[in-house]
Amino acid sequence: MTVLNQRVPFVIESSGRGDREMDIFSRLLKDRIVFLTGGIDDEHANLIIAQMLFLSNEDPKADVHLYINSPGGSVSAGLAIYDTMQYLRCDVATYCIGMAASMGAVIFCGGTKGKRYVLPNSRVLLHQPLLGGIMEGSATDLAIESEEIIRLRKLLYDILSIRSGQPYDKVQKDCDRNKWLSAREAIEYGLGDSILERMPKTG
């Protein structure tokens, strides 16, 4: 199950061996559907990664379907998900449902090219990586942290540039301020491949 701290409905699945109760997200996992919802942190990322690894090992020729509705979150946790998507032997189809913001946008565009879908009324947000908390410490430590922030920002812009096909300088300029993209604009930018109005067949 990938949705945290929520009341999750259960479903009954019938088979020749009788009825079995399972939560809805476990049932969808059987169809190779994984959900990334809410803020991205280490715990959430670990659950997503574990499910994707399981599905890739189970059938490396079948797609994983990653549905994203996220305001973003931890850069390191988001990059762990992104890197795992590139590492898997199977393709990862991504679906923006509602919103893919900040690190959510990076993960969304990291899906297999040709299989990055945006639902009609969804949005994508690009912006600079945000720094949480207050930086404290010696001048040397603050300088090190500042250099790391700049390095991470360049890394994220590189990913967005490569995955969208946009020049690095354009991505950098667009991320200077919040840049909201509609479904159509996200496709035109190159972050996604098509607007999806009907659910495709899984597998």
* H-helix or E-strand spanning residue 67: strand 64-70
CB count in 10 Å sphere of residue 178:
12
Is 6 part of a structural domain of the chain?
Answer: no
What integer pLDDT is reported at residue 5 of this predicted model? 47
Is 12 part of a structural domain of the chain?
Answer: no
* H-helix or E-strand spanning residue 117: strand 116-118
Is 185 part of a structural domain of the chain?
Answer: yes
Is 7 part of a structural domain of the chain?
Answer: no
The dihedral built from the CA positions of residue 83, 165, 129 and 96, taken in this order, carries a sign that is: negative
**pLDDT per position as a tens digit, 3-42:** 454 576 666 666 666 666 678 888 889 999 999 999 999 9
Is 191 part of a structural domain of the chain?
Answer: yes
Is 118 part of a structural domain of the chain?
Answer: yes
Residue 74 is a catalytic residue: no
Q: Give me the CATH number covering residue 128.
A: 3.90.226.10
Is 201 part of a structural domain of the chain?
Answer: no
CB count in 10 Å sphere of residue 176:
10
Residue 193 to residues 83, 126, 178, Cα–Cα distance (Å): 20, 17, 22
Q: 28: which residues sit within 8 A by CB, 6+ positions away?
A: 35
- Find the domain containing 119 and state its range: 31-195
**How confident is residue 81, by pLDDT bands cut at 50, 70 and 90?**
very high
What integer pLDDT is reported at residue 1 of this predicted model? 45
**pLDDT per position as a tens digit, 87-120:** 999 999 999 999 999 999 999 999 999 999 999 9
Is 108 part of a structural domain of the chain?
Answer: yes
What integer pLDDT is reported at residue 140 of this predicted model? 81
Choose the catalytic residue: 56, 65, 70, 102.
102
Q: Are 130 and 59 in contact (CB under 8 A)?
A: no
Structure tokens at 5: 């701290």
DSSP tally for the chain: helices H, then strands E:
7, 9
Q: 167: which residues sit within 8 A by CB, 6+ positions away?
A: 161
Choose the catalytic residue: 127, 138, 146, 164.
127
Residue 65 is a catalytic residue: no
Bridge partner list, 18: 15
Number of domains in the chain: 1
